[in-house]
């Protein structure tokens, strides 16, 4: 009877996770959705404590206090710009938990009767060990890359990388087979986790810069799949269901991010971005054609603008300019009667949806945030487009030059707007390492300078004029 109640509660929790995620389909229902998921989790945890096999609670309570405190401090203190690092780290913790739980279950299986079949337990343990360990170590590298304090954020390549990865994968398979043949070889499991960990590190170090959103989404998916594998280890349906939901979510986001860069997942994971032979150099593109404008000149432009579109990039967040951008937009709306919208490229931030969170934090209205596909067909009627800290995502070369490394990547077509203002420190290239002809276009003005400072000057010029 106790078993039945526990499993029915797990079913309820699973349903609440689905409803919780469903709530996230609209900002209005999202807060309630998240709370639904949290209550589902609480129910699942509470009912587990009634399991007959539990003989003492002190280690559970101690672990929950330590983990709860660390999690709460992270959640309260984290800056929104640092959200990608935190999600990367949390993905890793999920993977680590799966490795540890599966390892413990393997040891326990040799000591007491198990619920499901032994073959299922052992095979799933191997899967859990591999996926979980790749997730943990890969996420740790992703975290360090995004944090940029200990290791640089760019891609790191070494010769024979692919061969080493393939060898490690073979070793994992062999070790896995040995464990399945003789499940009492517990030490082999930890060696397997170690080898998979090295593989996780090596798979993540060659990925950097603009590809980070893909990696975080993929690791998010892995952390879910690791939980699913652990569900098979324990023959526990709520783990299988919850893990599958997360796995599906991560896969969808991964595919969206890849499409937004017009690259295949294999290309992101194993390929390199290099400027094509014979493409135009910066000098050829920019020489004598770039027009610089002062904040006062740009202010005059905005004076008569009816429709304004702001294109933010991660550079805006680095310069901490999002609050000034909002003040500027509000001034244009309230004092000049202009319609102001934000055009958001899917890879504008460092993780899926990151730019939207940064703008929401600066109190930008949800309705003003427009997706690329939604705003692109209307850009011809825009008087002024202002690009702040973005580069590759507005580079028209993506449409025109099939040999370019960003060829075919969907971009925000600001070059079709009547006037384009670029706020940028210099003419330096973006992650793709190629010059941007937009900067030299007839209808483009460059407002050079630090994003925040330049925009503050622009705002005060507008207020005076």
Residue with tokens 């099939």: 402
Catalytic status, residue 450:
no
Angle at 318 between CA 25 and CA 390, to 5 degrees: 75
410 interacts with other proteins by CB under 8 A: no
365 scored as a contact of other proteins (CB under 8 A): yes
Among residues 113, 182, 373, 392, the one annotated as catalytic is 392
CB of 385 to other proteins, least distance (A): 20
Q: Pick the closer one to other proteins by CB: 59 or 274.
A: 59
Only segment of 16-24, 298-306, 317-325, 408-416 that touches other proteins (CB under 8 A): 16-24
Min CB(124)–other proteins separation in Å? 9
Map residue 419 onto helix, strand or coil: strand
SS (H, E, C) 428-457: CCCCCCCCCHHHHCCCEEEEECCHHHHHHH
- Alpha carbon 354 to its chain's center: 7
Rank residues 70 and 292 by Cβ distance to other proteins and give the closer one: 70
Subset of 237-266 contacting other proteins (CB under 8 A): 237-250, 252-253, 256
For other proteins, the binding residue among 141, 192, 215, 227 (CB under 8 A) is 227
Residue 397 binding other proteins, by CB under 8 A: no
| Burial of 448 per CB tally in 10 Å (0-12, 13-18, 19+) | middle
Tell me: does residue 409 bind other proteins (CB under 8 A).
no
> At what angle are helices 451-464 and 322-336 packed, to 10 degrees?
20
- Binding of other proteins by 26 (CB under 8 A): yes
Is residue 37 within the footprint of other proteins (CB under 8 A)?
A: yes
What is the DSSP secondary-structure string of 106-119?
Answer: HHHHTTS--SS-HH
Q: Does 50 bind other proteins (CB under 8 A)?
A: no
Q: In whole angstroms, what is the distance from residue 341 CA to residue 11 CA?
A: 43
As to burial, measured by CB atoms within 10 angstroms (0-12 exposed, 13-18 middle, 19+ buried), residue 113 is: exposed
For other proteins, the binding residues in 84-143 under the rule CB under 8 A are: 86-87, 90-91, 93-94, 96-98, 100-101, 103-105, 107-108, 111-112, 116-117, 120
Footprint of other proteins on residues 264-323 (CB under 8 A)?
A: none
- The closest alpha carbon to 348, from 261, 272, 444, 450, belongs to 261
Per-residue tokens: 395: 């580079």
Binding-site member from 55, 163, 266, 274 for other proteins (CB under 8 A): 55
Report d(CA 290, CA 283) in Å as an integer: 11
Check residue 22 for interaction with other proteins (CB under 8 A): yes
Size of the site for other proteins (CB under 8 A): 115
Smaller CB distance to other proteins: residue 53 or 149? Answer: 53
Active site residues: 392
């Amino acid at each position: 009877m106790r078993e039945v109640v526990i499993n029915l509660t797990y079913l309820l929790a699973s349903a609440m996770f689905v409803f919780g995620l469903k709530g996230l389909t609209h900002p209005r229902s999202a807060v309630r959705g998240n709370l639904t998921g949290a209550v589902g989790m609480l129910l699942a945890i509470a009912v587990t404590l009634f399991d007959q096999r539990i003989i003492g609670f002190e280690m559970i309570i101690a672990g929950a206090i330590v983990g709860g405190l660390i999690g709460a401090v992270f959640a309260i203190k984290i800056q929104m710009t640092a959200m990608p690092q935190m999600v990367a780290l949390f993905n890793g913790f999920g993977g680590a938990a799966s490795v540890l739980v599966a390892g413990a279950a393997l040891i326990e299986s040799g000591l007491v009767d198990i619920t499901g079949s032994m073959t299922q337990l052992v095979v799933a343990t191997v899967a859990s060990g591999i996926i979980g360990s790749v997730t943990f170590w890969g996420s740790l590298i992703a975290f360090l890359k995004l944090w940029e304090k200990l290791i640089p954020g760019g891609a790191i390549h070494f010769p024979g990388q692919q061969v080493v990865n393939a060898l490690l994968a073979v070793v994992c398979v062999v070790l896995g087979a040995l464990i399945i043949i003789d499940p009492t070889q517990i030490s082999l499991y930890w060696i397997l986790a170690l080898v998979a960990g090295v593989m996780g590190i090596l798979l993540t170090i060659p990925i950097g810069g603009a590809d980070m959103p893909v990696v975080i989404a993929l690791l998010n998916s892995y952390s879910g799949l690791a939980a699913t594998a652990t569900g098979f280890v324990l023959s526990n349906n709520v783990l299988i269901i919850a893990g599958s939901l997360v796995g599906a979510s991560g896969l969808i986001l991964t595919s969206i991010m890849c499409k937004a860069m017009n690259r295949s997942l294999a290309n992101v994971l194993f390929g390199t971005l290099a400027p094509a032979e014979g493409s135009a150099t910066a000098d050829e593109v920019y020489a004598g054609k770039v027009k610089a404008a002062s904040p006062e000149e740009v202010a005059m432009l905005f004076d008569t603008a009816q429709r304004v579109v702001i294109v933010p990039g991660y550079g805006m967040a680095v310069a901490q300019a999002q609050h000034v951008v909002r003040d500027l937009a509000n001034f244009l709306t309230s004092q000049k009667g202009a319609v102001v919208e934000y055009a958001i490229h899917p890879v504008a931030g460092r993780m899926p949806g990151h730019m939207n969170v940064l703008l929401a934090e600066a109190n930008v209205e949800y309705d003003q945030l427009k997706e690329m596909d939604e705003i692109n067909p209307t850009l011809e009627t825009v008087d002024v487009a202002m690009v702040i800290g973005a580069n590759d995502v507005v580079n028209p070369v993506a449409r025109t030059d099939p040999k370019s490394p960003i060829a075919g990547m969907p971009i925000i077509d600001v070059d079709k707007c009547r006037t384009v203002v670029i706020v940028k420190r210099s003419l330096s290239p973006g992650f793709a390492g190629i010059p941007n002809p937009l900067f030299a276009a007839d209808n483009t003005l460059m407002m050079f300078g630090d994003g925040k400072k330049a925009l503050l000057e622009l705002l005060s010029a507008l207020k005076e004029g």
